[in-house]
Amino acid sequence: MIKDLAAREDGPVRVAGWVEKVRDQKFVQFVVLRDESGAVQLVNGGVLREPDADNPRSEILLERTSAIAELTLGTFVTVTGELQHNERVKLGGVEIQIDRLEVVTSALPDNPVANDSGIDVRLDWRFLDLRRPEQNLVFRVQTTFEHALRQVWIDRDFIEIHTPKLMASASESRAELFEVDYFEGTAYLAQSPQFYKQMAQSAGFGGVFEIAPAFRADPSFTSRHATEFTSVDTEFSWIDSHEDVMALHEELIVAGLTAVKEQHGEAIQKLFGLEVEVPTRPFPRIPLAEAKQIVKDRGYEVPRADADMDPEGERRIAAYVDEELSHDFVFLTDYDASIRPFYHMRHEGDPALTKSYDLIYRGVEISTGAQREHRVDVLEAQAREKGLEPAELGFYLDFFRYGVPPHGGFGMGLGRVLMLLLKQSSIREVTYLFRGPTRLLP
């Protein structure tokens, strides 16, 4: 790999990669070659433009010079040559004197993606867009972040589960639901693994987690919405309140960002021009009603008093937390029962409020968590309040008829976390293959 060249001694070497740049000068040719680990400069000092009868290597040199001159950007080549350390070379301090160059696969001369191409063009040709070092780094960061989360869960003796994405009924509500023909009937793509995470609590699994796709038939074209996204989910038993869920959530976020900073901080600084900031614990906590009052006092009123915090409100409360508390994260807690699912537990002293929260990161909601209601009679009553018939929730309510411990958990959008971490303008930039209302390709 190219990243390993700097640690090697001078001598014979073989590399392969995509041609990123060619400089064809009169007496020397330079090629920048890139693989997934980095880039290196190749040098052809034996340039020969015409046959030379006095040079026994004339045919070889002529053929090599011609081949390099005709290279198109993106062509994949294999090169053998002499590795030389040279501190004057800005690209890694090494270069390779070409001895032999083999074209493995040629690229068409007209590359459809340019440096100034818009997001839609780049998504049309996503495999070419992903060759950019910035994009390669995005998914290395994603890998590191996920691995760090998994390590926390595994250290806590949590179990990884894989829940079905084809369901007989809605997992959240019938809004934003994809219907799928399923043999003689209809199935639905899972909006979340919520019901199955809770089933694991009744099954005696204790802590569980899953990182998997989720689907929302949401016609939004905003920078933070997708019809298919990766959801980071966890659920665990033996909790006293949603405070326990928030504590685990903090632990996971801090572990993930710490790992990213340690492994990729330098590369992120180089390619994205920003420092990875690891938050301190505990994260700030603000009840939703108080947060709405704060943003109102700062000149913005959330349009509906009985509604969730809207995107502008999220930005405003995040700005307040940044200015007053120097923190990128804030938990908005104690949501009104009217805007939360029926399975969120309510406060003993105030049944109008739920033991739930949203986590805001740099002005965008990335997660919803809560303590769940585990008493079946209460669940049935709260379902009726929401206009749901308990009979339609039979398989779900059965989880609670045979004994289940107090439990809670959260679901978090992985793409939103990456977008905000790397300060990208859209979730499209950090999704391997984005799916939206008008995009099903590639």
Per-residue pLDDT reduced to its tens digit, 7-44: 999 999 999 999 999 999 999 999 999 999 999 999 99
Burial readout 269-283 (b: 16 or more C-beta within 10 A, e: otherwise): eebbeeebebbeeeb
Domain co-membership, 59 together with 131: no
Going by the annotation, the residues of the binding site for ATP are 365, 413-416
Which residue range(s) make up the domain with 314?
124-430
Looking at the domain assignment, is residue 317 inside a domain? yes
Q: Which of 113-127, 160-174, 245-259 has the lowest mean pLDDT?
A: 160-174
pLDDT interval class at 174 (50, 70, 90)? low
Looking at the domain assignment, is residue 281 inside a domain? yes
Looking at the domain assignment, is residue 115 inside a domain? no
Q: 57 φ, ψ to 5°?
A: -100, 15
**What pLDDT is recorded for position 175?**
72
Residue 62 CA to residue 202 CA, distance in Å, equals: 74
Domain co-membership, 209 together with 328: yes
Q: Check pLDDT > 70 for residue 173.
A: no
Structure tokens at 424: 């990208």
Looking at the domain assignment, is residue 146 inside a domain? yes
Q: Check pLDDT > 90 for residue 394.
A: no
Q: Check pLDDT > 80 for residue 212.
A: yes
pLDDT interval class at 101 (50, 70, 90)? very high
Domain co-membership, 10 together with 75: yes
**What pLDDT is recorded for position 9?**
96
Please report which helix (H) or strand (E) contains residue 82, including its range. Answer: strand 76-85
Q: Check pLDDT > 70 for residue 309.
A: yes
Going by the annotation, the residues of the binding site for L-aspartate are 172, 216, 368, 372
Domain co-membership, 239 together with 153: yes
Segment 58-80 shows an average pLDDT of 95
Looking at the domain assignment, is residue 439 inside a domain? no
Domain co-membership, 101 together with 130: no
Domain co-membership, 135 together with 59: no
Q: Check pLDDT > 70 for residue 172.
A: no
Q: Check pLDDT > 90 for residue 393.
A: no
The CATH number for 153's domain is 3.30.930.10
Segment 46-51 shows an average pLDDT of 86
| Amino acid in position 304 | R
Going by the annotation, the residues of the binding site are 172, 216, 365, 368, 372, 413-416
Residue 368 CA to residue 333 CA, distance in Å, equals: 10
Last residue of a domain, one of 36, 70, 105: 105
Per-residue pLDDT reduced to its tens digit, 218-235: 998 999 999 999 999 999
Looking at the domain assignment, is residue 299 inside a domain? yes
Last residue of a domain, one of 52, 75, 105: 105
Domain co-membership, 246 together with 322: yes
387 versus 232: the higher-pLDDT residue is: 232
Q: Check pLDDT > 80 for residue 171.
A: no
**What pLDDT is recorded for position 442?**
95
Q: Which residues pair with 368 in a beta bridge?
A: 358, 411
pLDDT interval class at 58 (50, 70, 90)? confident
Domain co-membership, 216 together with 329: yes
- Which positions ≥6 away from 55 have C-beta within 8 Å? 48, 61
Domain co-membership, 252 together with 314: yes
Peptide bond preceding 56 in cis form (omega within 30 of 0): no
Taking all residues of the chain, what is their mean pLDDT, rounded to a whole number?
95
Number of domains composing the chain: 2
Domain co-membership, 164 together with 90: no
Segment 76-103 shows an average pLDDT of 95
Residue 98 CA to residue 194 CA, distance in Å, equals: 57
Domain co-membership, 300 together with 215: yes
Angle of the 414-421 helix axis to the 242-272 helix axis, nearest 10: 50
Per-residue pLDDT reduced to its tens digit, 353-370: 999 999 999 999 999 999
**To the nearest 5 percent, what fractions of the chain are helix, strand and coil?**
35, 25, 40
Per-residue pLDDT reduced to its tens digit, 258-292: 999 999 999 999 999 999 999 999 999 999 999 99
Pick from 257, 365, 276, 254: nearest CA to 318: 365
The CATH number for 98's domain is 2.40.50.140
Residue 18 CA to residue 77 CA, distance in Å, equals: 6
How far is the CA of 159 from the CAs of 204, 231, 233, 388, in angstroms? 11, 16, 12, 31
Domain co-membership, 76 together with 133: no
Looking at the domain assignment, is residue 437 inside a domain? no
Looking at the domain assignment, is residue 344 inside a domain? yes
Question: Could you give the 3-state DSSP secondary structure of residue 214?
Answer: strand
| Amino acid in position 126 | R
Residue 148 CA to residue 166 CA, distance in Å, equals: 29
Q: Which residues pair with 11 in a beta bridge?
A: 83
